[in-house]
Amino acid sequence: MTTSKRPTATTTDPGIAAPSHEYSHNIGPGDPILLRDRYLTEQRSFTLLDTTARAELGRDPDERGSSWSPAMSILVWFTLSAVVMVLPNIFGSGTAASSLAIASAGVALFAVGAAIGQLDSRGAMRSGTRLLLIGGAAVLLVFVLGHLAAASTAG
């Protein structure tokens, strides 16, 4: 059984190759080889992100989109959400209108959460329920703070 010699910096045996420059020096933070490897790794990461964006999202990462489309979308959704809350009070009044407004807001919150869940593959029921609970907690908090503010200004 023969044992093979590993090349080292002090090897003088003519049958063993001398170590290459790449492995014969100490690697430090400013080392050109380390910098090259880091650059190549980053380039591969950017290439992977670009490929994923093109394949899964159908978008070209180099192409800038218009900011008008998201702005108009937000305007439409805020307007629709306001209409959902105000519409029952326009056609009715009192407890029935308020109850209908709260119920329609709950349905709208659940529907938006379910749509988000479908888009990001988390599940419609889970995301819809989550948004309904978060929105309900926010409404409850505002309701309690309103009553506390009214009580402190009345006395």
Task: Give me the residue spans of the domains in the chain.
Answer: 74-154
Mean pLDDT, all residues of the chain:
76
pLDDT for res 11: 45
Q: Which of 38-52, 74-88, 108-122 has the lowest mean pLDDT?
A: 38-52
For 79-105, the DSSP string reads: HHHHHHHHHHHHH--HHHHHHHHHHHH
Whether residue 147 has pLDDT greater than 80:
yes
DSSP for residue 25: S
Q: Using CA atoms, how far apart are residues 43 and 55, in angstroms rounded to an integer?
A: 18
Please give the share of the chain, as a percent, with pLDDT higher than 90: 13
Helix, strand, coil share of the chain (percent; to 5): 70, 0, 30
Kindly report, residue by residue over 46-98, the tens digit of the pLDDT.
Answer: 777 777 777 777 777 677 777 888 788 888 888 887 888 888 888 888 888 88
Residue 81, Cβ neighbours under 10 Å: how many?
14
